[in-house]
Chain A
Amino acid sequence: AQSVTQPDIHITVSEGASLELRCNYSYGATPYLFWYVQSPGQGLQLLLKYFSGDTLVQGIKGFEAEFKRSQSSFNLRKPSVHWSDAAEYFCAVGAGATNKLIFGTGTLLAVQP
């Protein structure tokens, strides 16, 4: 069965520091992979997506993610975090022809001044 694991429930980084959020997936075929961000009290906004091709994908707000098939990972990175990046981040894998998504349980990012 398809699944997504985000091993870090909560991460705190200092403003200006680099960030890496981990995501591991289990899926039998070539996956479609996504990262979404949710600010408090808001809906989910798509940060970036991987369908095929270049394994390093760029997204909005300066985020990028790298698909590593051998490690079944799709980690999210940002070289310098801003206070406005404090939010919850969800990794998701696309599952099948019905366009369903399987979500991880999320990583809550706090940014220290």
Chain B
Amino acid sequence: NAGVTQTPKFRVLKTGQSMTLLCAQDMNHEYMYWYRQDPGMGLRLIHYSVGEGTTAKGEVPDGYNVSRLKKQNFLLGLESAAPSQTSVYFCASSGIRNEQFFGPGTRLTVL
């Protein structure tokens, strides 16, 4: 099993450009999450999903959109990237009891 995978691993955008980050899990988990990690701030939840076709806002949702069209995939979109969105993005999935499994991360730089 690959666990949780993220595509791409690195990306550089210019301000105003758009992009989509893809997260895939092969553990048949119901719950999926997108976090951003910034120095000194730990991980902050952007959006999450409790099942196929559902999404909900987390702590820092502004500027991001998500979709969960298939149970195994969770997409994070930036419609108009801003320098404040420079960060490392992690996807995670969870089956039971809050235990979350994390992907390797995507390092995004917005110039």
Q: Check if A and B associate.
A: yes
Is A46 in contact with B90, judged by CB distance below 8 angstroms?
no
Interface size of B by Cβ–Cβ distance < 8 Å?
Answer: 26
Q: Convert A77-113 into 0s and 1s, putting 1 for each residue whose CB lies closer than 8 angstroms to a CB of B.
A: 0000000000000100011001111011110000000
Is A100 in contact with B90, judged by CB distance below 8 angstroms?
no
- Asked if B98 is an interface residue, CB under 8 A from chain A, the answer is yes
Most buried by B among A42, A103, A104: A103
**If the complex has contacts A34-B99, A42-B104, A43-B102, are A98 and B31 also in contact, measured as CB distance less than 8 A?**
yes
Is B98 in contact with A99, judged by CB distance below 8 angstroms?
yes
Instruction: Provide the residues of chain B in CB contact with A51, threshold 8 Å.
Output: 97
**If the complex has contacts A43-B90, A90-B43, are A99 and B100 also in contact, measured as CB distance less than 8 A?**
yes
Most buried by B among A36, A43, A95, A105: A43
**If the complex has contacts A43-B104, A43-B105, A44-B90, are A101 and B42 also in contact, measured as CB distance less than 8 A?**
no
- Asked if A9 is an interface residue, CB under 8 A from chain B, the answer is yes
Is B103 in contact with A101, judged by CB distance below 8 angstroms?
no
Q: Convert B22-50 into 0s and 1s, putting 1 for each residue whose CB lies closer than 8 angstroms to a CB of A.
A: 00000000010100000011111100101
- Asked if B77 is an interface residue, CB under 8 A from chain A, the answer is no
- Asked if A63 is an interface residue, CB under 8 A from chain B, the answer is no
Binding site for B on A (CB under 8 A): 9, 32, 34, 36, 41-46, 49, 51, 90, 94-95, 98-101, 103-106
Q: Which are the 8 A-B pairs with shortest beta-carbon distances?
A: A94-B98, A43-B102, A105-B42, A44-B102, A103-B42, A99-B94, A103-B43, A43-B104
